[in-house]
Amino acid sequence: MTSLLAFLFVLGVLVFVHELGHFLVARYHGVRCLTFSLGFGPKLIQTKRGDTVYCVSAIPLGGYVKMAGENAEDEREGKDDEFLSKSKWQRFQILLAGPAMNFILAIVVMTVVLYQGAEIPVYQDQPPVVGSVVADSPAATADVRPGDRIMSVAGREVNTWEELFYAVLPRADREVEVVLRRDGEMRSIMLTPTGETEYNVGDLGVIPSISPQVVSVQSNSAARDAGIVAGDVIEGIEGRAVNQESLVQTINDNPNVPLSLQIRRDGAQQDILVTPNLVDGVGLIGVFLQPETRTIEPGPFEAFTLSLEQNYEWSGMIFQTLAGFFTRDTSPSQLVGPVGIAQLSGDAAEIGWMSLFGLMSMISLNLGILNLLPIPILDGGHIAIMALEGVSRRDFSVKLKEKMLLVGFALLMTLMVTVIYNDLTRVAWIERLMIWR
């Protein structure tokens, strides 16, 4: 139920904002709007104000604004308040307004999210120098070693761990060239990222060199008795540098043995002696860990600037993913449809409102970009048709436009079938029924 309600909330806001953009600019240019609908199909709730019927329809997977004289086949009276009576420039503005409102929403919502403050992994903006390699991973198979500096993936330069993750993410099960620097020499290797999670996210199997940070300390634990507190960064054990994996392994292997931890607290270094308790055959000190993070608490203008940067990075990832469908670098299995969005919305809602708003921002950006693709039936397709008419200096016939729209409809239906199929494969009990997989 949480997933359904969160999905309807997110989709309702995104569709309303998108269609509101078309509606407001159409009214600004004097176009008569006949219907403003959230959803498709039979009208469940409706009211009429002036010339416009405002309604909520039965199928909540989109919406539309019906304008007078919008299509060449519509019955037209030749009035100035009809869509096709307006200049191409005015029609372009009306078509562009929907995606533009989605871009604005993405920036505004992300500004609000960032203004609340956020915890960001410290390694995210650091150069991608390998700290450790996961056993039996693509990186291990290709002899990637700790200390290697990854320079590029599939010809794309990567300067931070975040850029590396974005470069690898869409390339699951696709062989790519990875250029790395080892001992001052450049090396080129070929490897195939594995697909992780139900969304088939590409992963090389390399981990940054990061210190673990204490998230919380259990009561009546060895860590509490030793004076360890939440926020402490554990940089070493017995004088040896550690990451989260090696720290946990050392503690597990030494129950009832006093261990010296090198702690950083509020910028100051100190040693703390802790003796792991024996629990179920392993040593435990009673802490929850995460990669070291830094807290950002931006002001309004800084939050807006960070939102612009975040949406710019997301846009680059979206375009990279779209381009990957043509170059076969991106697997169609990574596409997410309504069921997948509902699951993501439910997961985000359980974390909190800010997490849900962050997801809404990303989906809004996706919706804006996808609607501008030059596919007939989408806003971008109508804009492309107008552009072609402008270049040819003549309006296309109704029959030709119908053929174009039919092609666009077929493409969208193919896409819809693909994403729904992907969504169903992520539902465990349905996936077990797919004997061909």
Provide the annotated active-site residues. Answer: 19
Provide the sign of the torsion angle of the four alpha carbons 396, 397, 398, 400, taken in this order. negative
Rounded-to-integer distance, Cα 168 and Cα 194, Å: 10
Q: How many CB atoms lie within 10 A of CB 89?
A: 10
Q: What are phi and psi of 401, to 5 degrees?
A: -65, -35
One-letter amino acid for residue 75 of the chain: E
Q: What is the 3-state secondary structure (H, E, C) of the chain?
A: CHHHHHHHHHHHHHHHHHHHHHHHHHHHCCCCEEEEEEEEEEEEEEEEECCEEEEEEEEEEEEEEEECCCCCCCCCCCCCCCHHHCCHHHHHHHHHHHHHHHHHHHHHHHHHHHHCCEEEEHHHHCCCEEEEECCCCHHHHCCCCCCCEEEEECCEECCCHHHHHHHHCCCCCCCEEEEEEECCEEEEEEECCEEECCCCEEECCEEECCCEEEEEECCCCHHHHHCCCCCCEEEEECCEECCHHHHHHHHHCCCCCCEEEEEEECCEEEEEEECCEEECCEEECCEEEEECEEEECCCHHHHHHHHHHHHHHHHHHHHHHHHHHHHCCCCHHHCCCHHHHHHHHHHHHHHCHHHHHHHHHHHHHHHHHHHCCCCCCCHHHHHHHHHHHHHHCCCCCHHHHHHHHHHHHHHHHHHHHHHHHHHHHCCHHHHCCCCCC
